[in-house]
Chain A
Amino acid sequence: MSGKDIKILELIKVSLGYNKVIYSDINASASSTEMIAVVGANGMGKSTLLRSISGILKYHKGAVNIMGKRIESYSPANLAQQVTFVPSQSPRARDLSLFDMVATGCYNRSNWIGNISKEDRSLILETLVKVGLKGFEKRDSSRLSDGEFQRAAIARSLVQNSQIILLDEPTAFLDIANKIIITNLLKEIAVTEKKTVIFSTHDLMQALKLCDKIWVMGHTRFFEGEPGDLIEKGAFDQMFKDSSLKFDSKLVTFI
């Protein structure tokens, strides 16, 4: 199992929504080492899309396939080995140490009462170094800054070791420095750990710069493609209802 040809994730004519369709006809796919940004106006359903791929929400129609198998055929434990989801703002638990928070990523491997193995213990410490939280393990996770908390959440998803990592607006509440740190970290994870990283964002410029592919939840339809191709196709002009907003391909920004 190597190379870019294996469809790790495939969406076929997916309609989002539980009782009422909120977005329809999504066709997309993802492979390993790929970093994909999901962009679109507020309320288009970026979050719903990510939650549907992660199995947290049911979708209306179509098929979400992971490793060639329907997402519905996975048990919660098996699905967690393939996909993990980092919510945009998890509620914080008071007096939960950073180490214990990251250790929840070992849920599938820990014993009946939740004790983790020695190997997992050292894996967690290594991962904390990777995300730049070395020496933070005893800190109260609820008192971390937003940037630190997001890094801890990413560390948790790495410890869980699923192939696909989905993140809902991982940079939404961060300052510019942390935005860049987190996005670079995600890129590094995709490349060095051979993961599939899919995240929603409003920062189109950064997405264009760093991502291999972009999923545009446009006002009229869904686009999938490499940044350059999407600009040529005029996909970003479709992003907002307001047709006076045009994407300038030379300036690479909205005018």
Chain B
Amino acid sequence: MLGSIILPIGDIFNAFTGGDAPRVVSDILFSLRIPKAITALLAGAALSVCGLQMQTLFRNPLADPYILGISSGAGLGVAIFLMGFSAFGITIPSTLFSNIGIAASAWIGAFSVTLLILLVSSRLKDNISLLIFGIMLGSVIGAIISLLQYFSASNDLKIFVMWTMGSFSVLSPIKIWIMFILIVIGFALSVFNIKDLNALLMGEAYAKSLGVNMESTRRRILIATTLLAGSVTAFCGPIGFIGIAVPHIARLVFRNADHKVLLPATAFLGASIMIFADTVAQLPGHSGVIPINTVSALIGVPVILFIILKSRFI
């Protein structure tokens, strides 16, 4: 509830209860701050739950929602949209169009990468090969994006760079609804992954011997995580570190490996931490806003370092 303009607590209370509050207060509250807070809550929970599943699937504590190139896929989509067109002399007309276009192209990019990975994953022997494939794919996409950047106009480049910094800046109600629905579906699918995630705790060979159908499990985890991370990335840009750090915080706090506990815990912690990060990014009382990725890195990196140094690492 903090931002460049400090709203008096009393007015906020009145605005909620339908009491007598200045028009400007309820306007800022309902059309700016609350939508923004909802976006941050959704994004934090989604990225964290996504990170948890990736870490368990790959048995890699440093896995995050973007490890398989979901964000680079989204980035490629946006890069093609923003810079690819201008390279061919096509200009994107209105800002409204370009806003929705960015989200849509990010989403298409993220899903194309997942689709490619799904196609490849049935041919790969194990999760580690999948991981390596994802990382390699990410590098190739990164190179293509650099190439696009090199040839693009400075204005398009600026918009692209702004997108990569991440932001919860006000989404229209329709966009929030789209994001909300996609993320709820992603969560629902993730809940159905809990049983398999628990079976995966002791490695792939072990899981297979329990009767886990690895191919379908991998597919279901990939689809759920892409829905979650892809949707967040589409609307808010690639937001780093939350997805790696939050599952570790949840493990430290709850001391339980059971995903029936970890999954809701991670969602809750992720949402809370993201709200906090967003509040810090607002620089309460000032007019500037720091990119959310700067804040999430400042929060996330010390947590990751602390975990590496202090605790028995899986």
Assess A95 versus B255: contact at CB under 8 Å? Given A51-B205, A85-B205: yes
User: Which residue of chain A lies nearest to B216 when distances are taken between CB atoms in the complex?
Assistant: A76
State whether A96 and B257 are in contact (beta carbons under 8 Å apart), knowing that A113-B191, A114-B195 are contacts in the complex. Answer: yes
Number of interface residues of B (CB under 8 A): 28
Within 8 A of B (CB), among A9-57: 18, 51, 54-56
B182-196 CB contacts (< 8 Å) to partner A: 191-192, 194-195
CA distance A81 to B205 in the complex (A): 16
With a CB–CB cut-off of 8 A, which chain A residues contact B205?
Answer: 51, 56, 85, 87, 90
A94→B251 CA distance, assembly (Å): 9
- Is B312 an interface residue, CB under 8 A from the partner? yes
Interface string of A73-88 (1 = CB under 8 A from B): 0011101110111110
B212 neighbours in A (Cβ, 8 Å):
76, 107
Could you tell me the distance between the alpha carbons of A81 and B212 in the complex, rounded to whole angstroms?
12
Does A108 make an interface contact (CB < 8 A)?
yes
Instruction: Say yes or no: is A252 at the interface (Cβ < 8 Å to chain B).
Output: no
Structural contact, B210 and A105, CB atoms closer than 8 A: yes
Q: Which residue of A lies closest to B252 (CB)?
A: A95
* Contact A112 B195, beta carbon cutoff 8 Å: yes
**Is residue B198 within 8 Å, beta carbon to beta carbon, of the partner chain?**
yes
B89 within 8 A of A: no
Q: Does B11 contact A (CB under 8 A)?
A: no
Contact of A87 among B206, B251, B256 (CB under 8 A): B206
List of B residues within 8 angstroms of A75 by Cβ: 213
Q: Would you call A135 an interface residue if the criterion is a C-beta within 8 Å of the partner chain's C-beta atoms?
A: no
Is A104's CB under 8 angstroms from B202's CB?
A: yes
A212 is an interface residue with CB less than 8 A from chain B: no
Report B-chain residues with C-beta under 8 Å of the C-beta of A104. 198-199, 201-202, 206, 210
- The smallest C-beta distance from B216 to any residue of chain A, in angstroms, reads 9
Question: Is B211 interfacial (CB-CB < 8 Å)?
Answer: yes
Complex Cα spacing A94 to B312, Å = 9
B258 — which chain A residues lie within 8 A by C-beta?
96, 100
- Interface residues of A: mostly helix, strand, loop or mixed? loop
Which residue from B192, B203, B209 sits with its C-beta under 8 Å from A54?
Answer: B209
B260 at the interface (CB under 8 A from A): yes
Interface flag for B220 (CB, 8 Å): no
**Are the C-beta atoms of B209 and A85 separated by less than 8 Å?**
yes
Q: Within 8 Å of chain A (Cβ to Cβ): is B219?
A: no
Are A95 and B251 CB-contacts (below 8 A) given A90-B206, A114-B194? yes
Would you call A80 and B209 a contact (CB within 8 A)?
yes
Q: Closest approach, in angstroms, between the C-beta of A253 and any C-beta of chain B?
A: 33
Residue of B whose beta carbon sits closest to that of A88: B205
Establish whether residues A94 and B210, one from each chain, have CB atoms under 8 Å apart when the complex forms: no
Q: How far is the CA of A104 from the CA of B199 in the complex (A)?
A: 6
Q: What is the CB-to-nearest-CB distance from A160 to chain B, in angstroms, rounded to a whole number?
A: 7
Min Cβ gap A106→B in Å is 9
By the criterion CB–CB under 8 Å, are B314 and A110 in contact? no
B208 CB–A CB distance under 8 Å: yes
Residues A113 and B260 in contact, CB atoms below 8 Å apart:
yes
- Which residues of B sit under 8 angstroms from A80, Cβ to Cβ? 209-211
Q: Is B218 an interface residue (CB 8 A)?
A: no
A91 at the B interface (CB under 8 A): yes
From A77, which residue of chain B is reached at the shortest CB distance?
B211
Given A91-B203, A113-B191, are A76 and B211 neighbors across the interface (CB < 8 Å)? yes
Render B277-314 as a binary contact track against A, CB cut-off 8 A, 1 for contact.
00000000000000000000000000000000000101
A93-B210 contact in complex given A107-B195, A112-B195, A114-B195, C-beta closer than 8 Å = no
Q: Determine if A204 is an interface residue (Cβ-Cβ < 8 Å).
A: no
Chain A residues contacting B191 (CB-CB under 8 Å) are 113
Query: Min CB distance, A164 to chain B, in Å?
Result: 11
Residue A134 is within 8 A (CB to CB) of chain B in the complex: no
Question: Which residues 233-268 in B have Cβ within 8 Å of A in the complex?
Answer: 251, 255-258, 260
A162: min CB distance to chain B, Å: 9
In the complex, the chain A residue whose C-beta lies closest to that of B208 is: A56
A113 touches B203 (CB 8 A): no
How many angstroms from the CA of A104 to the CA of B260 in the assembled complex? Answer: 13
Rounded to whole Å, the gap between the CB of B85 and the closest CB of chain A is: 45
Closest to B125 in A: A18
Which of B194, B195, B210, B256 counts the most A-chain CB atoms under 10 A from its CB? B210
Does A101 have its Cβ within 8 Å of any Cβ on chain B? yes
B260 engages A114 (CB within 8 Å): yes
Q: Would you list 5 pairs from A and B whose C-beta atoms are within 8 A, ordered by A residue?
A: A54-B208, A93-B202, A100-B257, A100-B258, A113-B260
New A-B pairs, 19, CB < 8 Å, besides A76-B214, A114-B199: A55-B208, A76-B208, A76-B212, A76-B213, A81-B211, A87-B205, A93-B201, A93-B202, A93-B314, A94-B314, A95-B256, A96-B257, A96-B258, A107-B211, A107-B212, A108-B211, A110-B195, A114-B198, A160-B210
